[in-house]
Amino acid sequence: MKICPSCYAVCVDQKWDFNEPAREKAMKGNGWEKHLCPGCERVARGQVDGVVYLRGDFVARHREEVKNLIRSVAQKKLRKNIAARIYHIEEKKNEIVIETTDRALAERLGKEFEKAYSGHLDIQWQHHSDFARVYWTRD
Query: Is there a single domain that holds both residue 24 and residue 66?
Result: no
pLDDT, tens digit (0-9, with 9 covering 90-100), for 86-107: 999 999 999 999 999 999 999 9
DSSP annotation of 63 reads H
> Could you tell me what percent of the chain has a pLDDT over 70?
99
pLDDT (0 to 100) of residue 13:
83
Beta strands in 1-139 (DSSP E): 2-3, 10-12, 15-17, 33-34, 50-55, 86-91, 95-100, 120-125, 132-137
Query: Is there a single domain that holds both residue 89 and residue 62?
Result: yes
At 126, the pLDDT band (50, 70, 90 cuts) reads confident
The answer to whether position 66 is within a domain reads yes
pTM here is: 0.88
Residue 18 sits in which domain range?
2-35
